[in-house]
Structure 1
Amino acid sequence: MAKIGVFVGTVYGGAEEVAEAVVSHLAESGHQVELYLDPTLEEFLAYQQDLALVVSSTTGQGEIPDNLLPLYQSLNDTFPLMPNLRYGVIALGDSSYGEERFCGGGRQFDELLRELQAKPLAERLDVDACVNFDALEVAMPWLVSWTKLADAA
């Protein structure tokens, strides 16, 4: 089974709730999984030969939450190429803030990981709070598919 780091960006706790459900599912599936609520560059780089899953909400301006921003900035500043990292992103947002801001936190992280040559296991999941009050209703089916891809990787 895979070694998976789950890296969370949260403002009001919604992304953390999704991430905790993700960790439970992955652990029940037999994976070695760790949750990071205030992730550091060193913790993230420890997974560059494994799998990383970013679960991020978005601030009202389409930005990365404060607890995840230092990791994003460190990755952007040091720019460590990670061609062996396989990853996924669950982006939480609210489309009423506009197209440019919608799921901006997760979108920015996904774009940076692609620039760092990491390989997505699946397309980013964008969860719209205007459509899905309970993000887990959308996230869990996506996670089941992502976990199958992780098992095969």
Structure 2
Amino acid sequence: MSTPADIEATKIWCSNVVVKNSSFCTPETGDFDGAFAKVDFAEGELIEKGIMRRLPEGFNGHECQECFTWSTERPNKTWAMGSGCSPYYNTHKSANANTRMVRYFDEDRFEIFAKADIKAGEELLHTYISLGWRECFAPLNEIVNKDE
């Protein structure tokens, strides 16, 4: 187990997260990855922290689900790739997401916290900030919000 000092001393920490087939996989979707808790997390606890690497100017994030929206500007022109397990957190409506990502755009880093108590083995979900408007997320947005 990592100590708070260990976590503080590193830029990337995801020791308590594992990536495996998502719990949302179906015969129709086929296999895809998801991030899962290796240990129990209490509400408010740090799950993961990491760094972002900005993608070259002109990169079209509308065509790549694996990159992150990395600014508050709309339309967004800044995209980044996340370290650790961050690319594998699947999305859900805010009310159903069990994590929240804090983005430090000016420092190119992030932290992910538990929004509620999370049990070991539970899939980790957060709400993508670009779910509603990114072209590559249009089918996903439809699935996530089909009840509304």
Q: TM-score, normalised to structure 2's length?
A: 0.28
Q: Which has the higher contact order (CA 8 A, sep 6+)?
A: 2
Larger Rg: 2
